[in-house]
Homo-oligomer: A and B are copies of this chain.
Amino acid sequence: MGVARIAVVGGDGIGTEVTAEARKVIDAVLPGVAYNEYDLGARLYNRTGEVLPQSVQDELAGHDAILLGAIGDPSVPPGVLERGLLLKLRFDFDQYVNLRPSKLWPGTASPLAGVKPGEIDLVVVREGTEGLYVGAGGVLHKNTPAEIATEESLNTRHGVERVIRDAFARAQRRDRRHVTLVHKTNVLTHAGNLWSRAFAAAASEHPDVTTEYQHVDAASMFLVTNPQRYDVVVTDNLFGDILTDIAAAVTGGIGMAASGSVNPERIYPSTFEPVHGSAPDIAGKGIADPAAAILSAALLLEHLGKLDEARRVTEAVAAEVASRAPGAPLRTAEVGDRVAAAV
């Protein structure tokens, strides 16, 4: 059986290279994990036209977690793999907490002047199963002057409440215990009102957590001018997509950005993956930085309740990154070896 069953979906480009290192580190810190590798992504799609065969999805469902590298290749029309694999897993496996920590690590330079490592330490709790991502919409009178296209954002109390509760619970485990709700309540009045009421209710149930509301445009600005102010940010699916990329940018780009698409109840497996893409230009050269993939493995360990192991992996990655000589060439496997040796 092993201590945990992990499905590994290396995917395209550098994806397989970085998940190999993440696996190496998991094995070093938690021996006995059972892995199954699944070959999904551009190769499968180009060979069969399928993105996620039902039989594979059924097998994935039997795992404790999914470690994903990256998907996407110029040979596949944009959106096909993202929707058919990443979004499908988020929806079908009810991964409603999309978790994206952003930290300015020692050894990483922020593009922001005067911001020092340690000063930025926030986590965005992005809703993962609702909003504009549900695929509700359509087109009428296509290719005529009368054409109209719609997209609908669906928000349920069920969906909004559970992700907000998760954000408050996370805040309670952090030093600053602060949650910022980000929405656009002055324009999206219907969904905004639901989010605001659910947020106020959760706030009154968590008197030890301080709270704040910001419009998404203001938050996008403050993430650049004053990212230090954020602790936990909770927001909807699309706003979270945008805010997490800004947060990644101010903490030195997506090189260190890890993410988890989490089903907190562990009824379904959660997916953990670096935010970066498949980087076809450097694939196969052994020079991709596996830091974000290894940090994603740390989120995976945390999700499985292996808190001490998760902390050791995170600290080892931080130390490895801090020890890098500026401008020195990086070898994917050597980074994995050093982190594995350190945990």
Interface residues of A (CB under 8 A from B): 78-79, 82-83, 87, 109-114, 132-133, 135, 137-139, 143-158, 184-191, 193-194, 197, 216-218, 220-222, 224-225, 238, 241-242, 244-246, 248-250, 253-254
Contact = CB atoms under 8 A, between A and B. Distances in A.
A72 B45 CA distance: 53
A253 B191 CA distance: 29
A242 B79 CA distance: 23
Given A145-B157, A238-B184, A246 B220 contact: yes
Contacts of A135: 189
A148 B139 contact: no
A202 B149 CA distance: 18
27 contacts: A79-B186, A79-B187, A83-B187, A111-B112, A111-B224, A112-B112, A113-B113, A145-B157, A147-B156, A148-B154, A148-B155, A148-B156, A149-B156, A150-B153, A150-B191, A151-B153, A151-B155, A151-B188, A151-B191, A184-B238, A216-B242, A218-B245, A220-B245, A221-B248, A221-B254, A225-B249, A225-B253
A194 B139 contact: yes
Contacts of A250: 224
Given A82-B186, A87-B187, A242-B216, A149 B194 contact: yes
A249 B222 CA distance: 8
Given A137-B191, A150-B152, A246 B225 contact: no
B246 A224 contact: yes
A123 B181 CA distance: 29
Contacts of A111: 112-113, 224-225
Nearest to A189: B79
A169 to B, nearest CB: 20
Contacts of A143: 197
Given A150-B154, A221-B249, 16 more contacts: A78-B185, A82-B187, A83-B187, A87-B187, A109-B113, A113-B113, A137-B188, A143-B197, A145-B157, A187-B238, A216-B242, A217-B242, A220-B249, A221-B246, A221-B253, A224-B249
A200 B189 CA distance: 33
A189 B151 CA distance: 8
Contacts of A157: 144-148
B224 A242 contact: no
A191 B250 CA distance: 30
Nearest to A239: B242
A101 to B, nearest CB: 16
Contacts of A184: 238, 241
A41 to B, nearest CB: 15
